[in-house]
Amino acid sequence: MPPLIDIRKVSKTYTMGTFRVEALKEVSIQVEAGEFVALVGPSGSGKSTLLHIMGFLDRPDAGEYYFAGHPTASLGEGRLAAIRSRMVGFIFQSFHLLKRTTARDNVTLPMVYTGLGTDNKKALECLALVGLSDRVKHKSNELSGGQCQRVAIARSLVNDPLVIMADEPTGNLDAVSRQEVMNVIRGLNEKGLTVVLVTHDDEISAMAGRVVHLKDGVIVSDETRRPPARSQLAASHLPQARLGFSPSEFSEQLKVAFKAIWSHKMRSALTILGIFIGVGAIISLMTISEGFMKSLLSGSSEDDARKVWVVPYRQHGRPVRRFTAGDVEAIRTGAPLAEKITPILERGLKISAGDKHVDSSVQTSEGYSLQEQKLRDKFFENRKMTGRFFTRAESLDKARVVVINQTLSKKLFDSGNAVNNDIRINGIDFLVVGVAEDHKAEQIFGSRPTAYIPLDTAEKRVFGSGHLDYIEVVAPSPDDAQEARRQIITALRAKRGAREGAEDDFDVRTFEAQIEMFKSTMGKLSLVVYSIAGISLLVGGIGIMNIMLVSVTERTREIGLRKAMGARNSDILSQFLIEAVVLCVIGGGLGVGLGFGLGWLAYFFIKVPPTLGAGTISFAFGFSTLIGVGFGFWPALRAAMLDPIEALRYE
């Protein structure tokens, strides 16, 4: 069988500022399976560098390295990570255990990066092997130095590696703990496990079967004191690079993310504040606007969908051209689908009753015949009504009768009954014959005090003008509304003598078009709010990026440890991306609650219950995830690209 480790004329040079340090100079060494090799020498002799190259934590600048008979120079990062995970076990001088993590979870860490899942039973067996069966649930900060190092040994064994790489494993231990750890390592070698150990302690090196002395980057002596143990471990091929993530790895990444967030609660809370405010502002606007639309549409009826409104349109550089009775007649003649035509005049006038004066809107309508009284609710779009509507005869007689809405009734008569009471419009006395309930849209946007009087009465007695403000047309059915609109446009263009291709001086709107106009208006308002919220989200995203950069710096050695345990660059990248996304999703979830709460707070002012749909919630969490990925990618990429050995050395 070929040697387990075969290094041929390997060199390694480090550049430190303007200085170049030759750590290794054409070093060649072979290690057979089952050997216990001690690399010894003074500080700076290159022994640790040689160990790191053997363990695939570092790459040589020149020379060749064969592992179990396979060349390694052309292996990619993913393949090297797989070898570190499955074939090499590391023991470090500083233990490098995960903080505030149990002994068992520390031991199972290398299993996470194999892609095969974790095995708690195997972890417990390894802890029992090093004499820590009673310390399984103890966290790293609850163990002594010797116990921490034995946990590190158990961790190095959990994936049944071909070789154990130990870098000064007893350097930070007292004499008793040092002896305990070395007894464990020697016992493992006697069972056939290959061990390569770096030390400067002669007592430790004396326990090895082979001692290799290095000085100034070269091997000065190589002494074999006893033959290697008989090893049953061999590798016919090197493991392939993994693709994707195993469930255990994803679970580990989530656990690490929540642990990092929880361990810095105040910092995390301040970090997600911008996301919380931004998402809350967006969600509040979305719930309120959706509530507006739902209330508006729920208050509409088939009669609304039948209506068509004809309104003046100001042409560029020309005054507004008002409608006249001739326009009404043109529509009546030229639009067969105009089932009902109602000319409307509207003015803002002061209405009074007793000592109360209210600025109100005064609108006109044609009266109904006595036979049509049962249809009066249609004029008020199915609103409840107290009293009656004025008749067609009253309209023709220019009678001083009026129907008022509830808002005006409350302002003039408080909670009393307004029917059969007198009010004054523009100084003229009118008899209140009916009180109509406010329309749903008026309830949403805030109802204005309004009075309805007969058309002829308004023209002759109140307004002194026959110019109409707009014309309301009712089609036979909602499906006829668009065709009625087309007929009205044709009739008015013919009546006004509009040339072909000329711009119209009027606009004809259907109920559907009114809804679209409302959506457009809400969209413009939303744009302003979204812009403000976007600034908050931008600040929050920058906060996420900043805190993730801090987190990468604080956990540099942990990153190096995970890479030594077999983590790929993609594993580290996804781990920090998940942490950034978790922060943003938490902020987004809280923002949904804030936005919905603000929507209900607004309900007390605008009387529109907010609507929180699945689409709104999906948008909030989707947008939060996008922010997490977008602003967390750069810190995560920096973490992923860290060199494992440089990360482990980070102070």
pLDDT (tens digit, 9 = 90+) per residue, 622-647?
888 888 888 899 999 999 999 888 88
- Per DSSP, the three-state class of 259 is helix
What pLDDT score was predicted for residue 146? 87
Q: What is the Cα–Cα distance from 114 to 81, expressed in whole angstroms?
A: 9
DSSP structural state of residue 362: E
C-alpha span between 443 and 581 (Å, rounded): 42
Q: How far apart are CA 359 and CA 240, in angstroms?
A: 83
* CA gap 616, 624 in Å, rounded: 12
User: Residues 330-351: what's their mean pLDDT?
Assistant: 88
- Give the amino acid at 482: Q
Contact 350, 357 (CB under 8 A): yes
Average of per-residue pLDDT values in the chain:
84
The answer to whether residues 85 and 109 touch, using CB atoms and an 8 Å cutoff, is: no
Residue 363 binned pLDDT confidence (cut-offs 50, 70, 90) = confident
pLDDT of 51: 93
pLDDT in the model for residue 270: 86
What pLDDT score does 425 carry? 92
Which of 65, 5, 71, 64 is closest to 33 using CA atoms?
5
List the alpha helices (DSSP H) in 192-246: 202-205
Question: Which tokens belong to 87?
Answer: 């074939």
Lowest mean pLDDT, pick from 184-198, 245-259, 329-343, 345-359? 245-259
511-554 vs 273-298: helix crossing angle, rounded to 10: 160
| Cα–Cα distance, 616 to 626 (Å, whole number) | 15
Predicted local distance difference test score (pLDDT) of residue 317 = 61
Asked whether the beta carbons of 213 and 200 are under 8 A apart, the reply is no
Query: What is the model's pLDDT at position 299?
Result: 54
Banded pLDDT at 178 (limits 50, 70, 90): confident
Tokens representing residue 445 in the block = 């946007």
Give the list of residues 6+ apart from residue 380 with CB closer than 8 angstroms, or none: 436, 437, 439
Kindly tell me the number of DSSP H helices and DSSP E strands found in the chain.
23, 21
Return the pLDDT at 63: 94
For range 135-143, the mean pLDDT: 90
Name the CA radius of gyration of the chain, rounded. 42
Which are the contacts of 544, defined by CB distance < 8 A and separation ≥ 6?
Answer: 271, 275, 580, 583, 584, 627, 628, 631, 632
- Torsion angles phi and psi, residue 361, rounded to 5: -95, 130
Residue-wise pLDDT for 497-522, tens only, equals: 877 777 888 888 887 777 777 667 66
> Distance between CA atoms of 450 and 169, rounded to whole angstroms?
89
The CA angle 51-53-57, to the nearest 5 degrees, is 100
Widest Cα–Cα separation across the chain? 129
Instruction: Give the whole-angstrom CA distance, residue 440 versus residue 46.
Output: 84
| Structure confidence at residue 283 as a pLDDT band (50, 70, 90) | confident
Would you say residue 378 has pLDDT above 50? no
CA distances from 214 to 28, 42, 139, 217 (A): 11, 8, 38, 6
Residue range 330-345: mean pLDDT, rounded: 87
Q: Output the CA–CA distances (angstroms, integers) from residue 347 to 154, 236, 258, in the order listed.
A: 89, 95, 63
Residue 232: the pLDDT is: 56
CA 124 to chain centre: 39
Predicted confidence at residue 445, as pLDDT, reads 52
What pLDDT sits at residue 220? 94
| Least reliable range by pLDDT among 52-66, 270-284, 594-608 | 594-608
C-beta separation of 370 from 389 below 8 A: no
Q: Which tens digit of pLDDT belongs to each residue from 551-574?
A: 899 889 989 999 998 888 988 999
With contact defined as beta carbons under 8 Å apart, do 117 and 247 qualify?
yes
What is the structure's pLDDT at 163? 92
Asked if the model's pLDDT at residue 214 lies above 90, the reply is yes
CA distance 481 to 509: 10
Contact 564, 79 (CB under 8 A): no
Task: Tell me the two tokens of residue 385.
Answer: 């009504």
Q: So what's the architecture of 5-243 in CATH?
A: 3-Layer(aba) Sandwich (3.40)
Query: Is pLDDT of 168 > 90?
Result: no
Domain ranges for the chain: 5-243, 256-297+516-649, 302-511
Distance CA 253, CA 266 (A): 21
Instruction: Tally Cβ neighbours within 10 Å of residue 219.
Output: 21
- The pLDDT of 49-53, averaged and rounded, is 93
Strand partners, 70: 67
CA–CA distances in Å: residue 2 to residues 32, 70, 235, 294, 588: 8, 9, 10, 77, 58
How far is residue 431's CA from residue 420's CA, in Å, rounded to a whole number?
6
- Among the residue ranges 154-168, 237-251, 333-347, 379-393, the one predicted with the least confidence is 379-393
The pLDDT assigned to 518 comes to 67
Contact 639, 572 (CB under 8 A): yes
**Beta-bridge partners for 348:** 361
612 or 215, greater pLDDT: 215
Tell which wins on pLDDT, 28 or 538. Answer: 28
Chain-centroid distance, C-alpha 344 = 51
Question: What do you get for the CA distance between the two ends of the chain, in Å?
Answer: 42
Q: Is the pLDDT of residue 108 over 80?
A: yes
pLDDT band (50, 70, 90) for residue 381: very low
pLDDT, position 49: 92
Distance between CA 227 and CA 609 in Å, rounded? 84
Residue 259 confidence (pLDDT): 84
* Centroid of chain to Cα 8: 52
pLDDT at residue number 651: 66
Full-prediction pTM beyond 0.75?
A: no
C-beta pairs of 18-23 under 8 Å, 24+ apart in sequence: 22/217, 23/49, 23/217
Least confident of 230-239, 255-264, 603-612: 230-239
